[in-house]
């Protein structure tokens, strides 16, 4: 008796969940798709960065924000300061926690025109939002935090790991659907790892839908072999480096000798 | 054409390291310096992380100094006995220097002490060499003969050196010294070199010229010989403990530097000792001025990649 009732209940429960899922996805327009054309970037011998395009379909009348990030982590950087009021040198280290090594955000319009600040904070969209999430150490107050975070952004932008743009997403409307496309330069400075592309559909200052795609960056071929060897077979790697250098030095010496010292 | 560097984790146009190697190798063959004081900052400027730049540079110096030592040995300019004694000192000095860095880091002012040591040593050595060789060139012009540098001034010092035990003859250099002398001064250079994170060729050359009184051409060959061994040791330690040697970058650098060292050796033979000294002095002084500028001008970025250990 109890068993029969139990199975009825579970069927009812499953049905309810299915309905709820349908309902929720329905309100979120269910139209947004995202695809990165280049989801597995191989770092080989001749690698000099790559390009990644993100495209998909969105509901007409929505704006878009495309965010590409590496997982959150922490970074320790050398901090420069003045010693004795005259000489610039490293005066310590600054630790940045809850920051991504790579962060780029592209939008159809300026972020401030698209989203209310609360939404930006909620989804980590824009430099201001990620500044709020970041924890810096050592800083005495918010003013110092703002100063060093802006230095952090300059450092990251210089190494091409952080970028932001607006107006570069191409939008086309066809058959009641809106397609979008953006081509981004993938910096060679971005190390191997998993990267996440998140596309947000935005309307009336709020995120109404989101879709994700992944980009995997990995080393391949000779780059992978050498990087692995440098870490895992360090003694052998060191010896090979030394022997190659000795051989090259000696070899060039011999070549010049054979050349009869013409130089 | 660009190549990806597996340890530096960056991509570089191959013309940059090959060109840098050629230029610094040329200096190496000419003056008997490893050129780390030029190469490491240049590599950093081209986006190589500082630790990888220093470690990889020592790997390429192995190639350049092999090439240079071989070229100098062929013309009889390497004093192996002197080189060996300097090496003993340099090795011990290096160990002491590494400990000194640890103490300085614990005291919290390592960077300041290291930078100041660097600037002062470069400045003093560069100025002294410049003035001394300028005087020597003037005198030789006046008299029209070769000059023995400031022999009369430090007779007491010379007498003291002669009174030291373990006197031995260094045939190639044509000098007689206590073997303690190269060991102690080699040790002194070793300490400073470890402190500054450089090979120390620019300090070793003046020590050999002014204290050990060796002829300039033998100085160059012998300096390269002892740099070769120092850099083999440093390369191995860097690869083994810090994983900072980038093989591909080293190969690109040594393509240029081995050839540069040969060309430098040939050029060097055409120049007089005094001319070589004064050019080296000018290069050392230019680097000093550059470092002083870097220290006083506001840097474009206030954050930099940390050493990573």
Please name the residue of chain A whose CA is at the shortest distance from the CA of residue B11.
Answer: A48
**Least confident range of A35-44, B28-37, B228-237:** B28-37
The encoded tokens of residue B209 equal 């010229």
Give per-residue pLDDT as tens, B47-72.
888 888 888 998 999 999 999 899 88
Give per-residue pLDDT as tens, A230-261.
999 999 999 999 999 999 999 998 888 765 44
Q: Which of B68, B232, B296 sits opposite A242 (nearest CB)?
A: B232
User: Between A and B, how many residue pairs show a Cβ–Cβ distance under 8 A?
Assistant: 179
pLDDT attached to residue A1? 41
Q: Are strands A87-100 and A135-137 parallel, antiparallel or unpaired?
A: antiparallel
Query: What whole-number distance in Å separates Cα of residue B218 and Cα of residue B222?
Result: 6
pLDDT attached to residue B211? 86
Q: Which of B62, B261, B301 sits opposite A155 (nearest CB)?
A: B301
The encoded tokens of residue B34 equal 């490893």
pLDDT attached to residue B121? 86
pLDDT attached to residue A30? 55
pLDDT attached to residue A11? 61
B164/A247: higher pLDDT: A247
Q: Which of A44, A235, A249 sits opposite B4 (nearest CB)?
A: A44
A7: pLDDT confidence band, cut at 50, 70 and 90? low
Cα separations (Å) of B22 from A71, A258, B92, B177, B263?
Answer: 41, 20, 31, 36, 9
> For B12-26, b where at least 16 C-beta lie within 10 A, e where not — what string?
beeebbbbbbbbbbb
pLDDT surpasses 90 at B29: no
Residue B297 backbone phi and psi in degrees, to 5: -80, 145
Q: How far away is chain A from the Cα of B253, in angstroms, using its nearest Cα? A: 10
pLDDT attached to residue A28? 43
**Least confident range of A15-24, A111-120, B14-23, B279-288:** A15-24
Query: What whole-number distance in Å separates Cα of residue B161 and Cα of residue B158?
Result: 5
Asked if A93 and B4 come within 8 Å (Cβ–Cβ), the reply is no
The encoded tokens of residue A71 equal 């997982």
pLDDT attached to residue B109? 67
pLDDT attached to residue B153? 55
Residue A253 backbone phi and psi in degrees, to 5: -60, -45
pLDDT attached to residue B307? 55
Of the candidates B194, B220, B191, the one whose C-alpha atom is nearest the C-alpha of residue B208 is: B220
Query: What whole-number distance in Å separates Cα of residue A120 and Cα of residue A261?
Result: 69
pLDDT attached to residue B268? 86
pLDDT attached to residue B291? 84
* Crossing angle of helices A221-232 and B247-270, rounded to 10°: 90
Give per-residue pLDDT as tens, A9-33.
566 555 555 444 444 443 444 578 8
Spacing of C-alpha B201 from chain mean position: 2
A18/A70: higher pLDDT: A70
Give per-residue pLDDT as tens, B185-235.
999 888 887 777 677 788 888 889 888 889 988 998 999 998 898 889 888
Asked if A230 and B245 come within 8 Å (Cβ–Cβ), the reply is yes
Contact B88, B186 (CB under 8 A): yes
**Least confident range of A3-7, B53-57, B279-283:** A3-7
Residues of B in contact with A47 (CB under 8 A): 2, 4, 11
Give per-residue pLDDT as tens, B66-124.
998 998 898 889 999 999 999 999 888 888 887 887 787 777 667 777 778 888 888 99
pLDDT attached to residue B289? 92
* Crossing angle of helices A234-258 and B247-270, rounded to 10°: 30
Residues of A in contact with B295 (CB under 8 A): 87-89
pLDDT attached to residue B94? 82
pLDDT attached to residue A18? 47
Please name the residue of chain A whose CA is at the shortest distance from the CA of residue B292.
Answer: A87
Task: Name the strand (E) or helix (H) holding B150.
Answer: none
The encoded tokens of residue A70 equal 């590496």
Q: How far away is chain A from the Cα of B169, in angstroms, using its nearest Cα? A: 29
pLDDT attached to residue A21? 45
Beta strands in chain B (DSSP E): 2-5, 10-13, 167-170, 175-178, 303-305
B239/B149: higher pLDDT: B239
Spacing of C-alpha B214 from chain mean position: 17
Mean pLDDT of A46-60: 93
Residues of B in contact with A43 (CB under 8 A): 4
- The three-point CA angle A85-A91-A95 to 5° equals 135
Mean pLDDT of B281-286: 90
Mean pLDDT of A150-163: 94
Mean pLDDT of A195-210: 95
Give per-residue pLDDT as tens, A107-147.
999 999 999 999 999 999 999 999 999 999 999 999 999 99
Q: Are strands A40-43 and A206-219 parallel, antiparallel or unpaired?
A: parallel
Q: For an interface test with B, give the residue of A233, A245, A258 to mutate (most B CBs within 10 A).
A: A245
Residues of B in contact with A244 (CB under 8 A): 63, 247, 250-251
pLDDT attached to residue B308? 40
Mean pLDDT of B274-294: 88
- Helix, strand, coil percent content, chain A, rounded in steps of 5: 35, 40, 25
pLDDT attached to residue A4? 47
Find the largest Cα–Cα distance for chain A. Answer: 104
The encoded tokens of residue A155 equal 């450092």
Residues of A in contact with B25 (CB under 8 A): none
Q: Are strands A103-107 and A162-166 parallel, antiparallel or unpaired?
A: parallel
Q: Which of B2, B59, B238 sits opposite A245 (nearest CB)?
A: B59
**Ordered DSSP codes for B35-101:** -HHHHHHHHHHTT--HHHHHHHHHHHHHHHHHHHHHHHHHTT---HHHHHHHHHHHHHHHHHHHHHH
Query: What whole-number distance in Å separates Cα of residue B90 and Cα of residue B189?
Result: 7
B143/B32: higher pLDDT: B32
Contact A227, A219 (CB under 8 A): yes
Query: What whole-number distance in Å separates Cα of residue B51 and Cα of residue B139?
Result: 45
Residues of A in contact with B302 (CB under 8 A): 79-81, 148, 151
Mean pLDDT of B26-31: 87
Q: For an interface test with A, give the residue of B3, B6, B21 to mutate (most A CBs within 10 A).
A: B6
């Amino acid at each position: 008796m109890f068993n029969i009732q139990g199975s009825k209940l579970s069927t009812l429960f499953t049905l309810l969940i299915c309905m709820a899922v349908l309902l929720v996805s329905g309100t979120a327009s269910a139209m947004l798709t995202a695809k990165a054309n280049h989801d597995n970037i191989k770092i080989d011998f001749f690698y000099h960065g790559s390009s990644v395009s993100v495209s998909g379909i969105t509901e007409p009348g929505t704006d878009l924000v495309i965010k590409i990030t590496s997982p959150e982590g922490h970074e320790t950087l050398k901090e420069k300061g003045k010693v004795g009021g005259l000489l610039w040198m490293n005066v310590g280290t600054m630790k940045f926690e809850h920051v991504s090594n790579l962060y780029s955000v592209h939008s159809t319009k300026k972020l401030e025109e698209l989203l209310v600040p609360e939404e930006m904070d909620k989804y980590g969209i824009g430099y201001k939002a990620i500044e709020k999430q970041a924890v810096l150490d050592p800083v005495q107050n918010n003013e110092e935090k703002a100063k060093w975070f802006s230095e952090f952004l300059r450092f990251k932008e210089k190494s091409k790991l952080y970028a932001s743009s607006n107006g570069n997403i191409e939008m086309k409307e066809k058959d009641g659907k809106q397609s979008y496309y953006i081509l981004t330069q993938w910096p060679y400075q971005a190390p191997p790892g998993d990267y996440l592309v998140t596309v947000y559909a935005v309307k009336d200052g709020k995120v109404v839908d989101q879709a994700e795609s992944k980009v995997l960056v990995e080393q391949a071929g000779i780059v992978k072999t050498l990087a692995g060897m440098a870490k895992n077979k360090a003694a052998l790697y060191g010896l090979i480096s030394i022997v190659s250098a000795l051989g090259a030095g000696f070899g060039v010496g011999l070549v010049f000798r054979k050349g009869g010292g013409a130089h | 054409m660009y190549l990806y560097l597996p340890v530096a984790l960056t991509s570089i146009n191959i013309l940059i390291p090959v060109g840098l190697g050629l230029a610094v190798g040329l200096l190496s063959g000419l003056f008997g310096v490893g050129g780390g004081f030029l190469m490491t900052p240049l590599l950093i400027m081209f986006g190589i992380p500082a630790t990888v730049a220093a470690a990889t540079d020592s790997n390429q110096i192995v190639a350049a100094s092999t090439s240079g030592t071989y070229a100098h040995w062929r013309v009889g300019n390497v004093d192996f006995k002197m080189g060996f004694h300097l090496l003993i000192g340099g090795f011990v000095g290096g160990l002491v220097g590494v400990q000194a860095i640890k103490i300085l880091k614990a005291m919290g002012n390592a960077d300041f002490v290291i930078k100041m040591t660097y600037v002062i040593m470069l400045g003093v050595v560069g100025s002294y060499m410049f003035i001394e060789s300028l005087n020597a060139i003037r005198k030789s012009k006046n008299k029209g003969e070769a000059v023995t540098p400031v022999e009369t001034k430090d007779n007491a010092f010379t007498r003291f050196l002669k009174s030291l035990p373990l006197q031995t003859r260094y045939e190639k250099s044509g000098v007689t010294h206590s073997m303690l002398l190269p060991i102690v001064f080699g040790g002194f250079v070793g300490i400073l070199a470890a402190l500054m994170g450089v090979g120390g060729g620019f300090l070793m050359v003046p020590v050999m010229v002014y204290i050990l009184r060796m002829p300039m051409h033998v100085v160059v060959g012998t300096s390269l010989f002892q740099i070769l061994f120092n850099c083999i040791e440093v390369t191995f330690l860097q690869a083994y403990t810090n994983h900072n040697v980038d093989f591909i970058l080293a190969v690109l650098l040594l393509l240029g530097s081995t050839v540069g060292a040969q060309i430098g050796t040939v050029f060097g033979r055409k120049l007089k000792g005094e001319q070589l000294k004064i050019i080296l002095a000018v290069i050392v002084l230019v680097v000093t001025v550059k470092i002083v500028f870097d220290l006083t001008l506001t840097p474009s970025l206030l954050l930099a990649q940390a050493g990573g250990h």
